[in-house]
Amino acid sequence: MADSFQPDRIQKLEDLKASGVDPYPATPPASRAMAADVLATFENCVGDEVTLCGRVMARRGYGKLAFLDLADQSGRIQAVMEKALLSPEDFSLLKMMNLGDLVEITGELKPTQKGQPSVYGKSMRILTKALLDPPAKWQGLQDTELRARMRYVDLFSNDEVRQRFQKRSAIMSAMRRVFEKHAFLEVETPVLHPLYGGANARPFTTHHNALDMGLYLRIAPELYLKRLLVGGMERVYEFARVFRNEGLSNRHNPEFTMLEFYQAFTDYRTMIDLTESLVAAGAQAAGLEPKGGKLLTTFRGKEYDLTAPFQRVRWADAFENKVGCSPTDTSAVLAKLKEEDIQASSSEGYGWWKAVNDLFERLVEPTLQGPVFVIDYPAAICPLAKPIAEDPVWAERFEFFLGGMEIANAFSELNDPQKQLENFQAQVAEATNDPESPNAVDHDYIRALAYGMPPAGGCGIGMDRLIMVLLGVDTIRDVLLFPHMRPETEEAE
């Protein structure tokens, strides 16, 4: 991309330098007030002198007077620049200033004749000269590609974008407080994995030069977090950036944030309770307020009530309800598979249940608007989950659906090393058919289990999707500061 600056701004930059002004001064302001704080306490502070820093968002100029709208992270405040109050040098700075420049203004707080709380500038400095024009002051930046590609412009020119990401931060902060309340430790586990596992997804690959070894970017942190359970860290969580080498859509980004948490000496029932607590905390942080006994969010034109407890439905019941037969009625399911043109690679085990699950995904999942917990999945498709002792066809697993999307996935974690080894070996055998199946057994993980992993519940939450629903944002790109984009095409230079 060619580096280009606005010629008229370059001219003003030169004018500034010629008059002895550093357009990028090093010295920060001695003290600084935030616009929102000033406005909140304005009546009690009239007459006080404050220093404000921010970006000039609008200017209404007169001959010997100018009104500036100054924006900082907290909000906007008006500065009144009167020639009579300013030194000639400072007043002349207004001529060399453009919209978008970052300035420091020191002055007295006073309402204008129309009563608007303002700072009457006594002195000003240009802190940063901007060399490109900001977007149109009224419409802002509209082009969705440019908004995502130049999020730095989108953020300063669009208040609700900045607020959205402030809320995203607040949601994650509130969820951390839930974990702290329950004595969880926040941990960080490797992003570079010698083996990939913990989910079915195609990985990104990379290479470590010094060790001359191939590595994968993690598709899930699961297997490392469970090693920590073996080590005696009984309650751990990680906001894990994970990477999946798959397509993009309004709910898929190649890198996204997966919250995973594990609690020893519990099972998936505890994970349901925790998930409900986390959603509630997130909803509150997102600014949703209970009305008439309901906690409503609007997502893609539909209302969702986030009041816990959420509905629970057994996987088998949901299947039978929508497909019309029991998932264990082999001949009836076979007929349905034919009807839907789904091929089972085997008449039993993983191959069979994968096909039955495909049927579920096609016929049942689209009807799961949620919030709903789907409980007890076929054990054959849950290699990391503990089977139900009384009926081992099923595993202690749930998925949480909200807004028509899969938001969370949780198990009672399988801690039988021999059973885990068998499941891994079966997955590796499957990898020839399914490129998303792990291609190697993680023997170190088996060794860890062999030392004894406490029974535990574990859960993964797709943070970006949850935030989409909580904030009523239709596409994942709009809850990611820098969503994945194709590289900008190089222009001829």
Residue 155 touching RNA (CB under 7 A): no
- Least distance between RNA and beta carbon 464 (Å): 13
| Cβ(156)–Cβ(120) below 8 Å | no
Residue 409 touching RNA (CB under 7 A): yes
With contacts defined by CB under 7 A, how many residues of the chain interact with RNA?
A: 69
From candidates 473, 477, 479, 480, binder to RNA by CB under 7 A: 477
**Cα-based distances in Å from 16 to 22, 25, 86, 109:** 7, 12, 17, 28
Closer residue to RNA (CB): 43 or 289: 43
Within 315-374, which residues bind RNA (CB under 7 A)? 357-358, 361-362
CB atoms within 10 A of CB 153: 18
The packing angle between helices 268-285 and 463-471, to 10°, is 40
Residue 250 touching RNA (CB under 7 A): yes
Residue 176 touching RNA (CB under 7 A): no
Phi and psi based region of residue 288 (left: phi greater than 0; alpha: psi -120 to 50; beta: remaining): beta
Cα–Cα distance measured from residue 492 to residue 107, given in angstroms and rounded to the nearest whole number:
48
Residues 6+ apart with CB under 8 A from 69: 56, 57, 58, 59, 76, 77, 78, 79
Cα–Cα distance measured from residue 25 to residue 101, given in angstroms and rounded to the nearest whole number:
13
From candidates 78, 106, 275, 297, binder to RNA by CB under 7 A: 78
From candidates 249, 311, 367, 418, binder to RNA by CB under 7 A: 249
- Choose the binding region for RNA from 34-42, 121-129, 273-281, 485-493 (rule: CB under 7 A): 485-493
Pairing of strands 255-264, 235-243: antiparallel
Closer residue to RNA (CB): 136 or 335: 136
From candidates 171, 178, 199, 410, binder to RNA by CB under 7 A: 199
Nearest to 410 by CA among 193, 183, 220, 189: 220
Residue 420 touching RNA (CB under 7 A): no
CB atoms within 10 A of CB 272: 22
CB atoms within 10 A of CB 247: 7
Residue 492 touching RNA (CB under 7 A): yes
Binding mask 84-123 for RNA (x = CB under 7 A): x----------x--xx------------xxxxx-x-----
Contact residues toward RNA (CB under 7 A) are: 6, 8, 12, 58-65, 67, 69, 78, 80, 82-84, 95, 98-99, 112-116, 118, 132-146, 148, 199-201, 244, 246-247, 249-252, 357-358, 361-362, 381, 384, 409, 436, 474-475, 477, 485-486, 489, 491-492
